[in-house]
Amino acid sequence: MKETVSILGCGWLGLALAEKLLTKGYIVKGTLRNPLHLQGLRTKGIDAYILDLEANDPDIELFDNLLSAGLLLISIPPKGDSSYWEQFVPLLDRLKTRPYPPKVIFLSSTSVYGGTGIIDESAMEFSIRENPIQLLKAEHIFQEYLPKRSVVLRLAGLAGPNRNPGNFLAGKKNVPNPKAGVNFIHQKDVVEILIQLISGKWHAGIFNLSAPLHPSRKEFYTHFSEQLELPIPTFKLEEKETVQKIISSQKLITELGYSFYYENPMNFEF
């Protein structure tokens, strides 16, 4: 019998994973909020549904359908309000009714971290901004209920097809921290890490996902702006020591034995 994976949020990243899973023989259920894209997902072979977790009346029948999968992946980023984590409560309540709940992978962000220096998963200094606070609360509710069946992946900046970082700062003036290392990961690596978690040995817990090398902001953004033939950003002249936060993926490399396609973000392809 084919394994089933439910993906809540078939956007840029969720859809890339869904397409890869289909090539490996998985049954994929997927959700999105925009009905205009529903038929496009179904044409690709995804069992697709419209789901709005912010709706006042949760669709229990749909929840049960999605939770019948062996694994549930949540790829829904916060939108900037203070109720993000609460939208998952009805889903979690339904999850608790199942005698054999699915494994859960929750996609979070390295933006949750505060502080500077080299940051690994043991860090206890967190951001005080609203979106990261909401992400941490959402991480917590799944890990609290499913400590051995949930994985939180904290993703660094995302790049890949139709997301070239040369667009991010092109033409900007006086960009700070030119010498600070960037924290990025390519879509191809994220998808492959997810495939390994889904199809291989299960590893519960929290993992940072960031390319192992961290070129400077000036080097990185200048290179990709030039690649797109866009105006090159200009950077502030730093007279004091560079302040930076370097995200470590060593736990991922050690525990999963993962080898990155793109160790150096300077080599990203699109």
What is the residue range of 207's domain?
4-161+183-214+245-265
What whole-number distance in Å separates Cα of residue 94 and Cα of residue 240? 53
pLDDT per residue as tens, the chain (270 positions): 579 999 999 999 999 999 999 999 999 999 999 999 999 999 999 999 999 998 878 899 999 999 999 999 999 999 876 789 999 999 999 999 999 999 999 999 999 999 999 999 999 999 999 999 999 999 999 999 999 999 999 999 999 999 999 999 999 999 999 999 999 999 999 999 999 999 999 999 999 999 999 999 999 999 999 999 999 999 988 767 677 899 999 999 999 999 999 999 999 999
- Which residues have CB under 8 Å from 117's CB, separation 6+? 244, 245, 246
Helix (H/G/I), strand (E/B), else coil: 106: strand
Checking phi first, is residue 145 left (phi over 0); if not, alpha (psi -120 to 50) or beta?
A: alpha
pLDDT at residue 267, as a whole number: 98
Q: What is the spatial distance between Cα 166 and Cα 221, in angstroms, rounded to a whole number?
A: 6
CA 111, CA 183: separation in Å to the nearest integer?
10
**Is residue 228 domain-resident?**
no
How many Å apart are CA 20 and CA 6, to the nearest integer?
Answer: 13
pTM: 0.96
Q: What are all long-range contacts of 110-113, with beta carbons under 8 Å and residues at least 24 apart?
A: 110/154, 110/155, 110/156, 110/183, 110/208, 110/209, 110/210, 110/247, 111/135, 112/136, 112/139, 112/154, 113/154, 113/245, 113/247
- Predicted confidence at residue 29, as pLDDT, reads 98
| 220 in a structural domain | no
Residue 178 lies in a domain: no
Please indicate, yes or no, if residue 224 is contained in any of the structural domains: no
The tokens for 35 are 């009905």
Residue 198 CB neighbours (<10 A): 21
Residue 137 lies in a domain: yes
Query: Could you tell me if residue 233 is inside a domain?
Result: no
Q: What CATH number is associated with residue 193?
A: 3.40.50.720
Which of 203, 179, 194 shows the shortest CA–CA distance to 255?
Answer: 203
Q: Does residue 221 form part of some domain?
A: no
Q: pLDDT value at position 261?
A: 98
Quote the pLDDT of residue 116.
Answer: 93
Output the pLDDT for position 57. Answer: 84
Distance CA 9, CA 26 (A): 17
Total structural domains within the chain: 1
Would residue 172 count as lying in a domain? no
